[in-house]
Amino acid sequence: MDNVVIAGVGKSIPSKVVTNEMLCQIVDTNDECITSRTGIKQRHITTGENTSDIASKAALNALENANIDALDIDLIIVATCTPDMFTPATACIVQKNIGAKNAFAFDLSAACSGFIYGINVAKSMMKQNNIKKSLVIGAETLSKTLDWKDRSTCVLFGDGAGAAVLSLDQNEGIIDVICNSKGAKWENLTIGARDINNPYVDEVSSINHYLQMNGGEIFKFATVTIVKLIKEILKKNNLILDDIDYIVPHQANERIIQFAAKKLDISMDKFYINIHEYGNTSAASIPIAISEIEEKSLLKKGDKIIAVGFGAGLTSGACLIEWTK
């Protein structure tokens, strides 16, 4: 059994809903403006849970969906750009929370592409090291990074987590993964960390700790990248768009998805979209969407999906999956 499949999926969404109308009470904007430019109608915001908390709930839901015990998990990867703290890894806290004491755990930082990067890393480690079962989690509490006076960013993001259980199997499952990065463009989307401040520096650095984004540059990058990655992974695997049942894009902006559909000459119905409810949840957006697809029984065994992500770094990635559940 040298193939890796998705054996189960799950999600966890904070209960607090913040609508566009509610944001109008905080910043100078309106529902029509937000909806027309992004497709977002609301987002879910934590009222106290940290990233490890919602990641743990998503993990437990994925384990239940897979009918697998936490003690059977060998590896936990949490993809996040909003960890609980610099160290320990959020994945180690999740390990404790869910009782996966036989696993080893670490975090991965690739922003909105993080879940796809995590799938790629887990798949490679499982095939090379005979790791039988893994948890890959995308989890974010982006609300703690936002400047709630900046209407260009605070209306876009939400909190949430999604998880997938990966298992060695005779079926192909995760067929192919592509990961890219364009570090020369890193300054276009950032969340600042700690200032440089020690006795040997002449001047203490001053870092903006809020999420900052050059929206125009990110939009241009995303619209080109999503089309390129979909075409590339299809070509690599001798497939055409008609072979794909769903494309699951990172939920950043509905206009990006509309652009991709036009360039690919396909219906928007080919894309699974839930940005209207959750906004941009970064590394969590793709696993949340896949979990919803499973909940709604939209996939049957043998169906194929492409997950495609893009974000800070600038990172990007695509994953071709055959559904085996």
Residue numbers annotated as active site: 112, 250, 280
Stretch (H or E) spanning 165? strand 159-169
Q: Do residues 256 and 219 lie in contact, with contact meaning Cβ atoms separated by under 8 Å?
A: yes
What single DSSP character describes residue 195?
P
Biggest CA-to-CA distance, the chain: 62
Q: At what angle do helices 31-38 and 254-264 cross, to 10 degrees?
A: 30
d(CA 112, CA 249): 10
Q: How far is CA 231 from the centre of its chain?
A: 21
Compute φ and ψ for 261, nearest 5 degrees: -60, -40
Read off the tokens for 319: 């994953």
End-to-end CA distance of the chain: 16
Secondary structure of the chain: what % helix, strand, coil (to 5)?
A: 40, 25, 35
d(CA 208, CA 235): 42
Read off the tokens for 197: 């401040």
Instruction: Report the DSSP beta bridge partners of residue 10.
Output: 163
